[in-house]
């Protein structure tokens, strides 16, 4: 496991213009990091995965898209960044697993003045009300991956509901878990004050790792 740090203050990733850290190419940074580590350690180049939470999830998505020829699969929690330059023109379809809390206050807009968010976090504020629903964004990823148009439901566990898009090119499945009552937090981890409860009904780390192990780089649907 490698835990790189972002930049600026507070620390964050330049996953979108709202981050306000121009002239920083964090995808190139991750690419360079992979190359540096591969030169000094035994790295399975078929099993490089990217995951992150919130702004880190946005970054993981960007990394998966722009480094699609090197990153085997991506896992995101409470974040799915904008489409990278070129949109769907990826080197290959990339498997994706995502977790989103249905009661995430950041997805619905906080009742905090924009000037205060600007002052505390040094980021531009997006109007979340104008953003497409999570299901729509995941559906767009599935369409790009050439998956069947209708997802199959996964067995529900308490307030955890999941869907899986299959029939994708190169076995690049897309999975979404929606957590009823879940806030802006990592499922199975601690809650963040003021941002709602992290769901304890599913362990995102374990589920994500199983998904990753099923999707090494280059594995096709008939293997």
Q: What's the topology of domain 17-213? A: Rossmann fold (3.40.50)
**Per-residue pLDDT tens for 42-51?**
999 999 999 9
Burial 137-153 (b: 16+ CB within 10 A, else e): bbbbbbebbebeeebee
Q: What does the domain layout of the chain look like in residue ranges?
A: 17-213
Give the strand pairing for 152-157 and 160-165. antiparallel
pTM listed for this prediction: 0.91
Q: Return d(Cα 83, Cα 163) in angstroms, integer.
A: 22
Whether the pLDDT of residue 177 is over 70: the answer is yes
- % of the chain beyond a pLDDT of 70: 90
């Amino acid at each position: 496991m490698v835990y790189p740090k972002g930049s600026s203050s507070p620390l964050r990733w330049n996953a979108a213009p709202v981050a306000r850290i121009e002239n920083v190419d964090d995808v190139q940074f991750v690419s360079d990091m992979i190359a540096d580590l591969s030169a000094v350690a035994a790295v399975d180049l078929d099993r490089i995965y990217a995951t992150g939470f919130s702004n880190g999830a946005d970054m993981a998505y960007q990394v998966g898209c722009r480094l699609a020829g090197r990153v085997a699969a991506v896992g995101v929690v409470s974040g799915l960044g904008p489409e990278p330059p070129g949109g769907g023109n990826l080197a290959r379809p990339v498997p994706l697993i995502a977790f989103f809390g249905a009661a995430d206050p950041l997805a619905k807009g906080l009742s905090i003045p924009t000037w205060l968010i600007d002052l505390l976090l040094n980021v531009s504020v997006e109007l979340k009300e104008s953003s497409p629903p999570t299901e729509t964004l995941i559906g767009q990823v599935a369409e790009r991956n050439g998956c069947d148009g209708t997802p199959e439901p996964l067995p529900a566990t308490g307030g955890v509901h999941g869907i899986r898009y299959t029939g994708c090119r190169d076995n690049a499945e897309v999975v979404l878990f929606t957590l009823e009552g879940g806030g802006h937090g990592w499922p199975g981890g601690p809650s963040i004050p003021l941002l709602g409860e992290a769901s304890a009904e599913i362990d995102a780390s374990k589920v994500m790792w199983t998904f990753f192990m099923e999707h090494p780089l280059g594995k096709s649907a008939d293997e």
